[in-house]
Amino acid sequence: MLTFTQLKPPNPDATVIFTLALTAEERTRSRHRFETEDGKVVFLHLPRGTVLHDGDILQEETHGSLIRIIAKSELVLTAFAQTPLLLLRAAYHLGNRHIPVEITLTYLRLSSDSVLRTMLEQLGLEIKEEILPFQPELGAYGQHHDAH
């Protein structure tokens, strides 16, 4: 079992022993046990409130081995609007429901949910169901780290 306790600055040249693909929800777990596809057991023991991002590097507590976190593809809804105001209105309604949302200038992305899909369609957005990495905004009071 490998226990990772330290978040290192992102470094594309770091020598990592393997990558760990995690969903958006899994990247919010500071204390969790994961099993990799090839049977390795990985335990995260990070400071509470740590949110991991695609490309983050973690250091193992005893041997100093490094792993890279990657955003795992998952089922998401991508919402497109005809106007910026409509996109803002949709973001407001999702925010009122405390839904994790990935926000860009051209689309909103959220975990697949039929009720929210219907709401967004009724607001006039075009919805596309996709399997992609999901990187929602951190909450206003969430812990950010220097890399992002």
Distance separating alpha carbons of residues 91 and 77, to the nearest angstrom: 13
Distance separating alpha carbons of residues 10 and 79, to the nearest angstrom: 30
- 2-71 topology per CATH: HSP40/DNAj peptide-binding domain (2.60.260)
**pLDDT value of position 146:** 41
The domain locations on the chain are 2-71, 73-133
Q: What is the pTM of this model?
A: 0.81
Asked if residue 95 has pLDDT above 70, the reply is yes
- 73-133 topology per CATH: Alpha-Beta Plaits (3.30.70)
Cα 54 to the chain's mean position, in Å? 7
Q: 80: closest CA among 114, 138, 127?
A: 127
**pLDDT value of position 145:** 45
Distance separating alpha carbons of residues 70 and 132, to the nearest angstrom: 12
